[in-house]
Structure 1
Amino acid sequence: MVLISLPLDTYKSSPLDLLEEIKNIYSALEPEIKKGNIEIYIEEKVNINTVYKILEKESFDIVHFTGHGTEGGYLIFEDEREPSKEKLISIKDFRNMFISKQPDLFFLDA
């Protein structure tokens, strides 16, 4: 699962080329995708609620977060009420979101 979070306020001050990020993921995994060994699920505009809704239905071997973080060890998610605003999520809270469906690997590109 690829989680993409880039609130508008964050994007304005620190833009990312998300299309390029996704292309890089697909090109790195292309041989295994073609063999049917890997499926990629991408969720954009991530907030806490969207992650929990996904995990009600699915589990994943790898969780790849693409977005921004802070020096204090927080990931920047979109706020549930105001998606253009940031909501800081601690690494511990992020990990705990997956407590019932632990992936084998977390990859944080923040």
Structure 2
Amino acid sequence: MQEAWLVSDLDRPLSLRVRLRLEGPATLLLHEEEIALDAGEVRRFFSLGELWESPLEVQARFLPLQEALARIPPGAYRLVGEAWEGERLWSRHVLSVEYLEPILPLEVAW
């Protein structure tokens, strides 16, 4: 996943709790954030490219997630994205992915 977006077609502002998680042989919360959207607003709230280009102190916040991703076992996973307004689920998207065994051991370049 390179980016994640929110699109509001409502005629009112709203505040959403957004969650991205990986479910499968291991479960991992990838991202959680409270986002306020104006009426009709479209906003990108996650960009892997921007994260890679961000200052080191911003990247450091994601180091525990990077380390956790390096330890997940291979297998079938679901990438789940949800947007909640209070107790109401506004959106839920699921993408099936297969994490394969690494070709080489971790920390080995080729």
TM-score of the superposed pair, with normalisation by structure 2: 0.25
Greater CA radius of gyration, 1 or 2?
Answer: 2
TM-score of the superposed pair, with normalisation by structure 1: 0.25
Which structure has the highest helix share of the two? 1
Structure of higher RCO (CA pairs closer than 8 Å, 6+ residues apart): 1
Which structure has the highest strand share of the two? 2
